Amino acid sequence: MSTAIERFLSYAVQPGAQWQGGVFDFAEIVGGPLADTPMAEAKVALWVSCELEIVQGKPSIEGTSFELLISELLELLETNHLGYRPALISVTNKDLAMQLKERLSGSGTEVTWDAEPEFWCEVRDDMANHFSEFAAASLAPSLASSGCSGSQIRAFSEAAAAFYQARPWRFLDDTDLLKIQTPKPPKYLKHATVLGAGGREFGLGFYDSAETHWGMRAQRLDMGSLAVFSLTFSPISEAIEEDVAYWNDHNLPLATGDAFPQFLFYSREETRAPKPKELEFLTIVLAALAETSEEEMDSGEWSKQVAIQGKNRRCKISIPDLLEPPARTEWIDRGLMPDQRGNERHFRLIQSVMAQNKGMDVDQLNELLNTQYTGSIDDFDYPSATPFDRAENLYYAAIDTYGRRRIQLARQALQEDPSHIEANVLLADSTHDAAQRIDRFTSAVELAESDCDDLLKSEVGRFWEISKTRPLIRAKHGLAISLASDGQANEAISEMLDILRLNQNDNLGVRYEVIPLLLRQNREQEASDVLNQYPEESGPWLYLKAQVEYRAKGPNSPNAQRAMANAFKFNPHVVELLMDETPPMAAEQYTLGSPEEAAMVIEDQQESWMETDGFVEWMFARFAVWQRELLQRKRRASNAKRKKRTK
């Protein structure tokens, strides 16, 4: 008897547990893309656990079908720390089923032959779909085979490298819609936005009209029906292989190894490389944007003359929202909701009125407020006599808009009053250079501390409740996030803990940010102290608690296991999303226990999980145990109901 079989039989039988397995040729689901590689001869041994919906399987070119079947069977059991073997096994191949049945005879695990077990077939089909997508990606349309000339491709590569090195996303974001006036744009290339302000994907997104762009932002359009061009920069390892080879063969320039340019057209009917006229147009636009200064962008309209393939070409670009700034209502119609800070000035005004009329009868005070201080905040006339008043007006105008216009208004506010705290915070928040960003937030903190000097002792703990002290909390939070992004974790922690001291209600959710930082700095006790300070039930909090308990007490601790189970119970989608090969996208809004909340948990906590030795593997193992115990409880409850009905 093989060692693998002996190890499998050493586990106790779990009544009711059913696994399905089989072996098939890898070529059946991959086909052409790997036809000329050794993997074309590979076999896949695939196992699924029906009760836990856990999958185990991979292609291999070594070993017999039966050896692969047994190896992956044991892998399913031990990798997931299941601690048991199933009572029933179904195998898709008759000969393999008979061999396994002979070896497990009398062991308590029954083996049957089922050519098409439902769950196993579903998983196999999913694998086939995945590899079909892989094959499609490997056959993505190549610029090298697009019909564009070598000189056109070289000019494009030079302009793309210059554009990437210029980093226009330092100044523009995806709310700054560019209108390209000359040269005459081909279809679908009339408008563009610069990608990269968020630090994730860099390039240009193109649209046939402004309505298309804003309709997409407001989620009013059927995304599947759209036709768009997109220029993105990606690592060489993720680029189209034929184009990478072309770049290497012709010694074409790249800004960096992570900035391989890919320009593609996407529609429901096709994904294709650009035509020669489309590539030529993009090249001119890229070269023009690479030479555009911040001052030219702020003018709202500018022209650049660029040399492309030995010819001078003129490119005229405008930002319509700078030439004719939209009203707040238009931003709302575009799907961009007003900044919540916009209500604070009105709130302060009401607080001031109430303070000035402390002796007034309650009914009279309510009547005063209802007659003079209700209605749209756009209808009120705010003071403008002093530099601070004018800076304040410009600041609130800034947070009612987006993109480059917001930065312009923040700068105008600081021209009126350089000490305006919120305008300093707004400008710091729009700064991309790490050192400059930290300096600006530090200055804002110093200004705010000076402004709140009389409250730093008397009102500690309730700073968010007082409108005057909110700017300090925002400035310190911006500084903390900037320090953390710059690798200054302990300095960031110091700011965050001070925010929690000043504002114990933690309206900004700083507690969710500081605990992962504390754990990454091996400051488990302080992380535990923050957890105990804010007892609550939410997905982020419960997963943080599980990690803290794991690090403090170890994987076998009842406290850690209980905390992990509580997290699974509240939101089981976290592990499910981690198992999915598609990276989860965190939404701006979510409901408790939802997949969207799970995506946010992963985005915020995954880095500290990876730095906690063994935590992710332990979380997966505990999830399998939790699912098994959940299934057992459901089965017992079902049996109890059945017995009750038969009495």
Give CA–CA dist 515/547, Å, rounded: 10
Q: Examine the pLDDT at 550 and tell me if it is beyond 60.
A: yes
Strand locations in 198-259 (E):
203-207, 228-234
CB 187 within 8 A of CB 161: no
The CATH number given to 3-138 is 3.30.420
**Quick check: 383 pLDDT over 70?**
yes
Task: Check residue 583 and give its pLDDT.
Answer: 56
Q: pLDDT at position 500, please? A: 96
Which range (290-294, 339-343, 366-370, 396-400) has the least confidence? Answer: 366-370
59: left (phi over 0), alpha (psi -120 to 50) or beta: beta
Q: Dig out the tokens for 315 from the structure.
A: 């490119």
Q: What percent of the chain has pLDDT over 70?
A: 92
CA distance 577 to 172: 33
Q: Strand, helix or coil at 109?
A: coil
Q: Can you give the pTM of this predicted structure?
A: 0.73
Q: Which residues neighbour 125 within 8 Å (Cβ) at sequence distance 6 or greater?
A: none
pLDDT of residue 269: 86
Residue that is written with structure tokens 């953390």 in the block: 484
* Residue 437 near residue 482 (C-beta atoms within 8 A): yes
- Closest to 214 measured CA to CA, from 226, 197, 201: 226
**Lowest mean per-residue pLDDT among 203-217, 423-437, 567-581:** 567-581
Q: Helix axis angle, 387-398 relative to 421-429, nearest 10°?
A: 30
**Who has greater pLDDT, 242 or 379?**
242
Residue 19, SS3 per DSSP: strand
Side-by-side strand order, sheet with 311-318: 271-272, 260-266, 228-234, 203-207, 191-195, 178-182, 311-318, 301-308
Contact assessment for residue 424 and residue 475, using Cβ atoms and an 8 Å cutoff: yes
The total of other beta-carbon atoms located within 10 Å of residue 174's CB is: 17
Residues in the chain: 647
Average pLDDT for 222-226: 82
415 burial type by CB count under 10 A (0-12 exposed, 13-18 middle, 19+ buried): middle
> How many Å apart are CA 47 and CA 68, to the nearest integer?
11
Task: Specify the domain boundaries for CATH 3.30.420 within the chain.
Answer: 3-138
Whether the predicted pLDDT of 23 surpasses 70: yes
Residue 263 and residue 241: Cα distance in Å, rounded? 14
What's the token pair of residue 425? 């915070």
What are 351-365's pLDDT values in tens digits? 677 777 777 777 776
Cross-strand pairs, 194: 204
In the numeric block, which tokens belong to residue 271? 């994904």
Q: Residue 591: what pLDDT?
A: 85
Residue 393 has pLDDT above 70, yes or no: yes
pLDDT at residue 404, rounded to an integer: 96
* pLDDT given for residue 573 in this prediction: 92
Top pLDDT among 555 and 289 is at: 289
Give per-residue pLDDT as tens, 207-217. 999 999 999 88
- Measured distance CA(562)–CA(546) in Å, rounded: 8
Burial class of residue 136, CB neighbours in 10 A (0-12, 13-18, 19+): exposed
How many angstroms separate the CA atoms of 626 and 545, rounded?
17
Residues 239, 260 contacting (CB under 8 angstroms) = yes
Does residue 36 register a pLDDT over 60?
no
The contacts found for 36-44 with CB under 8 angstroms, 24 or more apart, are 43/68, 44/127
Residue 189 contacts residue 229 (beta carbons within 8 Å): yes
**Contacts (Cβ under 8 Å, ≥6 apart) of 61:** 38, 39, 41, 42, 43
> What is the percentage of the chain residues whose pLDDT exceeds 90?
58
Residues 168 and 156: their CA atoms lie apart, in Å, by: 17
Top-confidence residue, 26 or 580: 26
- Are 374 and 346 in contact by the 8 Å Cβ rule? The answer is no
CA distance 567 to 160: 46
| Beta strands per DSSP E along 178-227 | 178-182, 191-195, 203-207
Please check whether residue 177 is in contact with residue 213, taking contact to mean a CB–CB distance below 8 angstroms. Answer: yes
pLDDT band at residue 84 using 50, 70 and 90 as cut-offs: confident
More confident residue, 238 or 325: 325
CA torsion angle 389 394 399 401 (round to 10):
150
**Is 566 or 83 the better-scoring residue by pLDDT?**
566
Q: Is the pLDDT of residue 374 over 70?
A: no
pLDDT in tens, 490-549: 999 999 999 999 999 999 999 999 999 999 899 999 999 999 898 888 899 999 999 999
Distance (Å) of CA 538 to CA 53, 622, 630: 25, 19, 20
Could you write out the DSSP letters of every residue in 119-186?
Answer: HHHHHHHHHHHHHHHHHHHHTPPPGGGSS--HHHHHHHHHHHHHHHHH-GGGT--TTS-EEEEESPPP
- Between residues 350 and 135, the one the model is more confident about: 350
The string of DSSP codes covering 266-332 is: E-SS-EEPPPHHHHHHHHHHHHHHHT--HHHHHHSEEEEEEEETTEEEEEEEE-HHHHSPPPHHHHH
Say if residue 345's pLDDT is above 80. Answer: no
- Over 70: is that where the pLDDT of 132 sits? no
- Give the distance between the most distant pair of CA atoms in the chain: 94
C-alpha 27/C-alpha 636 separation (Å) is 43
pLDDT averaged over every residue in the chain: 88
* All residues at 6 or more sequence positions from 35 whose CB lies less than 8 Å from its CB, including other chains: 27
Per-residue model confidence (pLDDT) at position 373? 64
The confidence score (pLDDT) of residue 407 equals 96
Q: Is the pLDDT of residue 627 over 70?
A: yes
SS3 405: helix
- Do 306 and 287 contact (CB within 8 A), yes or no? yes
Buried b (16+ CB within 10 A) or exposed e, 278-297: bbbbbbbbbbbbbebeeebb
Can you give the pLDDT at residue 275? 96
**What is the pLDDT, as a whole number, of residue 378?**
62
- List alpha helices for 399-469, DSSP H: 404-416, 421-429, 434-451, 455-458
Q: What angle do CA 24, 28, 34 make, to 5 degrees?
A: 115
β-bridge mates for residue 206, sequence order: 192
Residue 177 or 27, more confident: 177
Residue 623, pLDDT > 60, answer: yes
Cis? peptide before 183, omega within 30° of 0: yes
DSSP annotation of 433 reads S
φ, ψ of residue 235 to 5 degrees: the values are -60, 150
Q: Using CA atoms, how far apart are residues 537 and 630, in angstroms rounded to an integer?
A: 20
